[in-house]
Structure 1
Amino acid sequence: MSSTTNPATAAEPQAGAPTWLPPAAVAVTLVLWASAFVAIRHLGEDFSAGPLSLGRLLVGAVVLGGFAVTRELPRPTGREWVSIVTIGVLWFGVYNVALNEGEQRIDAGTAAMLIQVSPVLIALLAALFLSERFTIYLGLGLALAFGGVALIGLAQPEGGESDVLGVLLCLLAAVVYSVSLILQKPLVARLPALTITWLACTVGAVACLPFLGTLVTETRSAPTSSVLWVLYLGIFPTAIAFTTYAFALKHMSASSLGVTTYLVPPITIVMGLVFLGETPVTMAYLGGALALVGVAVARRKPRSRATVATPPA
């Protein structure tokens, strides 16, 4: 997992990109991914895990392909193809199937919380393979934010039951997501976000093709509203959100970007309350606030010695 980017400038927006654009891309991604947790939970009665993954990825691949064919896109090298195929199988294939099956067993808020072990893994992997600095602010922010999502996970209604397999599937999704993000970081240094997302999404769809027969059967019996939700998952949390996330990764370090996903559980809880009638208890609100504090701390940059030594003018 070698990187072709300069770690000293990995977190800085590149020339030509407005400074507000990467944060805006992150915000779009977080909201759409939070909505995906709620939509997946809602669709659990009409679509099983594999077919739902295939339907979502087919829609995403078609939408992204429609934009890609209108542009002159660079061709990946042999090594880049290996990374893209790996990302497609892991992040778009295994991740989606594992998460979908996990949410058949546990609620959306808990699933979103469990995925948040990934920023810790991303920070460690980025330090090992991308030469990114593991600063004291990042470490403290990770601890605070993870404590926040842990509170969210503990804040379950009385009488709620936990499902060990569901928990393990969500943790598997977190692991493959973390590995995929580290693989993607060197790619965004040369390839457009649209190219990477389109190719990886297409690979993921191909990997899920064994579920095609079941997808056709379940689509025929599903209500129109559920089919429209599958289309939503393919267009917004997949085609749009994965592309905006790849764009943000081009302008931010992997560890800094990864920690922002701690905002997903609080957003998911609010959406779950509105659309699924899942009412969080007080501890969940405290956990969401702590997660916000953790993200803010992790995004701080240590002051350089030169800056500290400079006397006031």
Structure 2
Amino acid sequence: MALALPLAFVLLWSSGFIGAELGARVTTPDTLLMWRFVVASALLLLVCAATGRRITSATLRRHVPLGVLMQFVYLAGVFHGVEAGVSGSTVALVAALQPVLVAVVGILALRESLSWRAAVGLALGFGGVALVVSDGLGAGSAPGWAYLLPIGGMLALALGTILAQRVPDRGDLLAGLTVQTVTAAVGFTVWALLAGTAAPSPTRTFAGAVAWVVVLAGFGGYGTYLLLLATRGAATVSALLYLTPPTTALWSAMMFGTPIRAAALLGMAVSTLGVLVFLRARRRSVAGSRAAGSRDTGGRVDGDPIA
């Protein structure tokens, strides 16, 4: 069970890139992202109404900024960077810098500890991702400014992750997810209307792509992201992101017949090793902190009895 949630997160987060490829065959990123969040918002609002959940002012203050950063800006940067000609491999490599950024900011600003073992794990994870995407570097035909789009998206996701970690959420997770999703829906709807791309494609492929990104990538991927963030912390969630490029590569190979080169296979193995090293180091660090807290509080940690 300890591995079930991280495994589900890796698979579901990776599904977003597969859904983007499905949608790119029949529509524009503006259209797909708009309808993804419009449909998801409608479903979440219905669930909140049916279960009697209230969206408080505190929930709005916390989750509207997170929705702007972690859903609207992040996805807009990634999708439109690819549309502008940046290669998918380059975008994947830029996104893989997010765990390193979160770890560094955590050390400098949040005073989180990072053992040498955890640092080695991060380095191995980044090295593995670099191997996976190395063949695609320089393959894009984008202008220089286009590379700022995925970089901006990655920075927005990292900033949102750090903000969410710095102020723990004591409210309802579903209500928070609803606010973030509605925030992104408003942003992408305005964007699509201004661009003249709001009309959906009347095809089964489009409907299937929307269903894919709503259920798997949206509810599944982002839902498990928030749950892991609340239970495991920002550094652990970010480290797991290292596994999404190789997972996406395998998924794409099985679904679309995309070839996987030897460098990619080696990178997958290195990334997996790096994440395992990092997670083990974090568990040891947490266990040590709890033991120290137990000694300082006479057998209690954070006011709770030790089981």
- TM-score when normalising by structure 2: 0.82
Distance 1:223 1:36, change over 3 A: same
Query: Which whole-Å CA distance do the structure 2 matches of 1:123 and 1:253 have between them?
Result: 11
Distance 1:58 1:147, change over 3 A: same
Q: Does 1:147 align with 2:127?
A: yes
Q: How does 1:231-242 map to 2 (within 5 A)?
A: 231-242=211-222
> What amino acid is the match of 2:258?
E
Query: In the alignment, which of 65, 68, 80 is matched to residue 86 of structure 1?
Result: 65
> What amino acid is the match of 1:272?
S
3-state SS, counterpart of residue 26 of structure 2: coil
Query: Which whole-Å CA distance do the structure 1 matches of 2:17 and 2:135 have between them?
Result: 18
Distance 1:144 1:44, change over 3 A: same
Q: How does 1:4-43 map to 2 (within 5 A)?
A: 20=1, 23-43=3-23
Distance 1:290 1:132, change over 3 A: same
Query: 2:107 is matched with which residue?
Result: 127
State the Cα deviation string for residues 80-126 of structure 1 (Å, max 9, x = none): 53331111112211111111112333454553333111101111233
> What amino acid is the match of 1:135?
S
Q: How many residues align?
A: 283
Query: Which whole-Å CA distance do the structure 2 matches of 1:26 and 1:188 have between them?
Result: 20
Query: Which whole-Å CA distance do the structure 1 matches of 2:184 and 2:255 have between them?
Result: 29
Q: How does 1:200-279 map to 2 (within 5 A)?
A: 200-213=180-193, 214-217=196-199, 219-220=200-201, 223-279=203-259
Query: Which whole-Å CA distance do the structure 2 matches of 1:168 and 1:178 have between them?
Result: 15
Unpaired runs of at least 5, structure 2: 293-307
Query: 1:101 is matched with which residue?
Result: 80
Kept in 1, the 8 Å contact 2:48–2:54? The answer is no
Q: How does 1:39-118 map to 2 (within 5 A)?
A: 39-73=19-53, 75-78=55-58, 81-104=60-83, 105-106=85-86, 108=88, 110-118=90-98
Kept in 2, the 8 Å contact 1:112–1:264? The answer is no
Kept in 2, the 8 Å contact 1:140–1:297? The answer is yes
Hey, which bits of structure 1, 4+ residues long, moved more than 6 A?
none
Kept in 1, the 8 Å contact 2:60–2:179? The answer is no
Q: CA RMSD of the aligned region, Å?
A: 2.6
Query: 1:300 is matched with which residue?
Result: 280
Query: 1:15 is matched with which residue?
Result: none
Query: Which whole-Å CA distance do the structure 2 matches of 1:249 and 1:32 have between them?
Result: 15
Query: 1:176 is matched with which residue?
Result: 156
Query: Which whole-Å CA distance do the structure 1 matches of 2:251 and 2:89 have between them?
Result: 9
> What amino acid is the match of 1:87?
L
> What amino acid is the match of 2:253?
L
Distance 1:267 1:225, change over 3 A: same
Distance 1:188 1:73, change over 3 A: farther
State the Cα deviation string for residues 56-75 of structure 1 (Å, max 9, x = none): 11122222223222334465
Query: In the alignment, which of 245, 253, 263 is matched to residue 283 of structure 1?
Result: 263
Distance 1:45 1:28, change over 3 A: same
Unpaired runs of at least 5, structure 1: 1-19, 308-313
Deviation at 1:130, TM superposition (A): 3.7
Query: Which whole-Å CA distance do the structure 1 matches of 2:162 and 2:97 have between them?
Result: 15
Distance 1:62 1:112, change over 3 A: farther
Identity %: 23
Deviation at 1:165, TM superposition (A): 5.1
Q: Which has the higher helix share?
A: 2
